[in-house]
Amino acid sequence: SVMTPFDGVPAATSLPMRRLGRTNIDVSILGLGGGPLGSYSILHADAERLVHTALDLGINLFDTAPSYGSSEERIGRALRGRREEAIVVTKGGYGVPGIPDWTKASVERGIDLALRRLGTDYIDVFLLHSCPPATLRGALVEPLVRAREAGKVRAIGYSGDGEALLWAALDDRLDVVECSFNLYDQGALSPALRAPNLHDKGTIGKRALAGAPWDGTRGFEAYDRLTYRERMSAMALPAFGLDPAEAALRFAAYAPDLATTLVGTRDVSHLCSAAAAVMRGPLPDSSLRAIATAYDRVGANWQPVV
């Protein structure tokens, strides 16, 4: 089953907003993951239409990275004249020509390159992108702090899962973390990560749909989707009278520890459907209790899917 698109964009959609941790940045509880926007298979005009539709729906957060093809350039181009409406999240630490990955220079130069690709004077949130724990424990945070002090970025943090995520959550210099969170992958928001002294850490959720493991029409399946399919089978959740994508989105979008959750798509109608689902509010308490019971029963020891 897939989300059923509806025709047209609501004229006055107003998605709920949340403060991104201790920053002064307010974000819509649904954000647009920019990975699909960087693909050669989507036209520039269609990418721009998707970004403009997101803004018209009340989605203000756009998440991208230099590894997402031409995503940064396309988002930057689409935001011309509407930059003040958007919160742009991008990443770095790698992929800078002539500079080794995961060095101070790669972070510093990566920020400057991202500013140029996005065509903006500042980046709202800049994240180290899935670097190894041993690397993260080095000096990579220092150039992020300097960029924040210089006004090149408003907030800094880390995107990834596993051991490095816990380290980043505990580093008081960082404002934001981005991690996987969905019905079948809740370990990233475990008590260890959400300790009392971490209440001010803004958290962005990704993989809200868990690769749509309920959709059996696909051919090749990556490791993460296969894992989520196995977990979906083990949890054996009821349908809750909802399309499974809607249930997944409403669960993730209203998770108390998340400021926002990302949905990645290149299809305007699917984005409209995702926004409409989130606008219907959180899942009923009875559904949330059923999910918690199922997860505690079989998933208490599940590790975040990296």
Question: What pLDDT digit, counting tens, does each position of 154-212 carry?
Answer: 999 999 988 888 888 888 999 999 999 999 999 888 766 665 555 678 999 999 999 99
So what's the pLDDT on residue 195? 58
User: Using the 8-state DSSP alphabet, how is residue 284 labeled?
Assistant: P
Q: Please state whether beta strands 17-19 and 26-28 pair in parallel, antiparallel, or not at all (unpaired).
A: antiparallel
pLDDT < 70 regions, the chain: 1-13, 191-199, 217-220
pLDDT at 60: 98
At residue 8, the pLDDT reads 45
Q: What is the rounded CA–CA span in Å between residue 135 and residue 171?
A: 14
Element spanning 111, H or E: helix 104-118
| Residue 294: both structure tokens together | 């199922």
Q: In a 10 Å sphere around its CB, with 0-12 CB exposed, 13-18 middle and 19+ buried, how is residue 146 labelled?
A: middle
295 in active site:
no
Nearest to 52 by CA among 64, 65, 41, 37: 37
Question: Tell me, what DSSP letter sits at residue 11?
Answer: T
Q: Which two tokens stand for residue 59?
A: 């989605």
Whether 149 and 291 have beta carbons less than 8 Å apart is answered as no
Counting every residue written for the chain, the total comes to: 306
| Identified catalytic residue from 68, 94, 158, 295 | 68
Instruction: Tell me what pLDDT residue 236 has.
Output: 97
